[in-house]
């Protein structure tokens, strides 16, 4: 099938079509109405950590402009919205008192979207951990599992029956590896042992939270979202082939084996040596709870090299403003592999999109590269479904340009352009294409 011929009618009528955002990236209002600081508020204050020295103080001012953004979401014609709760907005210290003003914000947002028929997919942890918990060691401290479970249960108790799904963590690999091993994301630690302890606690808290939330009697679908991609060796050199398999273990099998098979992969455990995390008896049983869905965030494929030089330009494919190769086939391949190796009950593409340099000219952003990216990845999703993979959702990342973490505001992933001086929102051509695709009769 030519990707330019993709039609909504090739998907089931009950397919979920959405756009996604996260709290820190869009909300702003970093200290309003009793919100506590998150690790990203503090990280942005460290010189040299954010490319444009920006922060999330204002972001897209979604906390103030949420009604306009609800209109925008509805205008696109999607039937679902994926968003996250800022934990320090609803519990400033990450334990103890709840902040009712914070909960009130999400309450009105959820009601406004639900009234207009938009299914709400809530993420509990899209990285903005309360700084007060980081002061006690963050995710490297096992106590976080209990704090997270109590937070998850309170959110589920208040909102669960109005939600289409609850996701515990978004991209635990990024939280732990970029945040605790490489130190390029908050909290900026550089320790492999802390990183793998953090990974283990993220996965354990996922299992504990699922048990506790289900204990409320909720039937809301619950799961987790991972950033995954196929990994290719940079050459036929057996050393590159071995490196690619190890990297697959570090990025994919460590998470998938634990969540779906209740084990950590032996080769990765051996590789970690003394940095292997402390795992108590029954932890892996707790981690391997039934997931109603597995969310997959896919942007590109990866190449692994044991030292042989490799350059993304050698693929001959389009590269995004993040330097990521555009490779839609990788999404098909990934979804098929996850289905074959792990059989999740349901797979959702919970993030997919691209940063490109946009130009707003006369009220128009002609972002044809992003449009093609979204279109071709929707087609790649369909290709996986045609091969029998149970995919139920596609969420474009992102609803609008926002704070792209260590890259600041320079990298634009939005379907909607945001002028960060005036906060004016303008639908890019990719948004108009998506709207048109979704409205096909
Ligand atoms: O912006 C991020 C998002 O927060 C998590 N997934 C990847 C996106 C693009 O980098």
**Ligand 1 center from residue 397 Cα (angstroms):** 8
**How buried is 266 (Cβ within 10 angstroms: 0-12 exposed, 13-18 middle, 19+ buried)?**
exposed
> Residue range 168-185: average pLDDT?
98
- In this structure, which residue's CA is closest to atom 1 in ligand 1? 404
Tokens 């490319």 belong to 51
pLDDT at 3: 66
> Residue range 256-266: average pLDDT?
98
> Residue range 80-109: average pLDDT?
99
Convert the pLDDT of each residue in 6-29 to its tens digit: 999 999 999 999 999 999 999 999
Q: Which atom of ligand 1 lies nearest, measured to the CA of 170?
A: 5
Residue 125's H or E segment, with its range, is strand 119-125
Convert the pLDDT of each residue in 24-75 to its tens digit: 999 999 999 999 999 999 999 999 999 999 999 999 999 999 999 999 999 9
Which residue from 60, 178, 323, 398 has its CB within 8 A of the most atoms of ligand 1, so it is best to mutate? 398
Residues in the chain: 441
Per DSSP, 11 falls in state S
Structure tokens at 182: 């490489």
Distance CA 205, CA 235 (A): 38
Which residue from 177, 405, 407, 408 has its CB within 8 A of the most atoms of ligand 1, so it is best to mutate? 405
Instruction: Provide the strand spans (E) within 184-301.
Output: 222-227, 231-233, 293-297
Q: Name all contacts of 422-427 with Cβ < 8 Å and 24+ positions apart.
A: 423/60, 423/61, 423/65, 425/68, 425/69, 425/72, 425/400, 426/360, 426/363, 426/365, 427/75, 427/76
> Residue range 104-117: average pLDDT?
98
pLDDT at 312: 97
**Ligand 1 center from residue 404 Cα (angstroms):** 7
The residues, any chain, with a CB within 8 Å of residue 285's CB and separated by 6 or more, are: 262
Pairing outcome for strands 165-170 and 231-233 = unpaired
Distance CA 141, CA 228 (A): 25
Distance CA 58, CA 25 (A): 9
CB atoms within 10 A of CB 280: 10
In this predicted structure, the answer to whether residue 165 has a pLDDT above a threshold of 90 is: yes
- Please tell me the pTM assigned to this model: 0.98
> Residue range 110-130: average pLDDT?
99
> Residue range 297-302: average pLDDT?
98
Pairing outcome for strands 222-227 and 231-233 = unpaired
Residues classed as catalytic: 171, 351
pLDDT band at 5 (very low <50, low <70, confident <90, very high): confident
pLDDT band at 79 (very low <50, low <70, confident <90, very high): very high
What is the fold, at CATH topology level, of the domain defined by 3-438? TIM Barrel (3.20.20)
Does 171 sit in the ligand 1 pocket, CB within 6 Å? yes
Does 383 sit in the ligand 1 pocket, CB within 6 Å? no
Does 127 sit in the ligand 1 pocket, CB within 6 Å? no
Does 401 sit in the ligand 1 pocket, CB within 6 Å? no
Convert the pLDDT of each residue in 314-340 to its tens digit: 999 999 999 999 999 999 999 999 999
**How many Å separate Cα 174 from the centre of its chain?**
9
Distance CA 90, CA 17 (A): 28
In this predicted structure, the answer to whether residue 2 has a pLDDT above a threshold of 80 is: no
Bridge partners, 351 (sequence order): 297
In this predicted structure, the answer to whether residue 1 has a pLDDT above a threshold of 50 is: no
In this predicted structure, the answer to whether residue 308 has a pLDDT above a threshold of 90 is: no
**Ligand 1 center from residue 349 Cα (angstroms):** 13
Distance CA 198, CA 176 (A): 6
The whole-chain average pLDDT of the chain stands at 98
Convert the pLDDT of each residue in 365-419 to its tens digit: 999 999 999 999 999 999 999 999 999 999 999 999 999 999 999 999 999 999 9
CA distances from 41 to 28, 38, 57, 410 (A): 10, 5, 8, 18
Domain ranges of the chain: 3-438
């Amino acid at each position: 099938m030519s990707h330019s011929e993709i039609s909504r009618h090739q998907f089931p009528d009950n397919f979920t079509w959405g756009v996604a955002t996260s709290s820190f990236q869009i909300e702003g209002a970093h200290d309003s109405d009793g919100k506590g600081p998150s690790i990203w508020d503090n990280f942005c204050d460290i010189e040299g950590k954010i490319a444009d020295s920006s922060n999330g103080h204002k972001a897209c001012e979604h906390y103030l402009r949420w009604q306009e953004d609800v209109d925008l979401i509805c205008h696109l014609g999607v039937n679902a919205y994926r968003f996250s709760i800022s934990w320090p907005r609803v519990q400033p210290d990450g334990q103890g008192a709840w902040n009712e003003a914070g909960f009130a914000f999400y309450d009105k947002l959820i009601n406004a979207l639900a009234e207009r028929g938009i299914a709400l997919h809530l993420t509990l942890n899209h990285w903005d951990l309360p700084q007060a918990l980081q002061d006690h060691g963050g995710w490297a401290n096992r106590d976080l599992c209990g704090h997270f479970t109590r937070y998850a249960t309170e959110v589920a108790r208040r909102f669960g029956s109005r939600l289409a799904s609850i996701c515990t963590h978004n991209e635990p690999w990024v939280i732990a590896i970029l945040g605790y091993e490489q130190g390029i994301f908050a909290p900026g630690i550089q320790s492999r042992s802390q990183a793998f302890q953090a990974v283990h606690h993220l996965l354990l808290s996922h299992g504990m939270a699922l048990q506790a939330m289900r204990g409320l009697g909720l039937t809301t679908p619950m799961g987790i979202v991972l950033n995954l991609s196929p990994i290719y060796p940079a050459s036929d050199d057996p050393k590159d082939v071995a490196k690619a398999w190890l990297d697959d273990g570090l990025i994919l099998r460590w998470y998938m084996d634990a969540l779906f098979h209740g084990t950590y992969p032996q080769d990765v455990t051996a590789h970690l040596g003394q940095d292997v995390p402390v795992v108590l008896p029954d932890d892996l049983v707790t981690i391997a709870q039934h997931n109603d869905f597995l969310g997959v965030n896919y942007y590109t494929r990866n190449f692994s090299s044991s030292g042989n030089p490799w350059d993304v330009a050698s693929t001959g494919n389009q590269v995004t403003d993040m330097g990521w190769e555009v490779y839609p086939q990788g999404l098909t391949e990934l979804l098929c592999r996850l289905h074959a190796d792990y059989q999740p009950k349901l797979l959702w593409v919970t993030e997919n999109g691209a940063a490109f340099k946009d130009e707003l000219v006369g009220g128009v952003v002609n972002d044809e590269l992003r449009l093609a990216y979204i279109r071709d990845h929707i087609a790649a999703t369909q290709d996986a479904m045609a091969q029998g993979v149970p995919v139920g959702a596609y969420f474009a990342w992102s609803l609008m340009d926002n704070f792209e973490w260590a890259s600041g505001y320079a990298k634009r992933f939005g379907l909607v352009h945001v002028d960060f001086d005036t906060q004016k929102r303008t639908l890019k051509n990719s948004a108009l294409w998506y709207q048109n695709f979704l409205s096909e009769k």
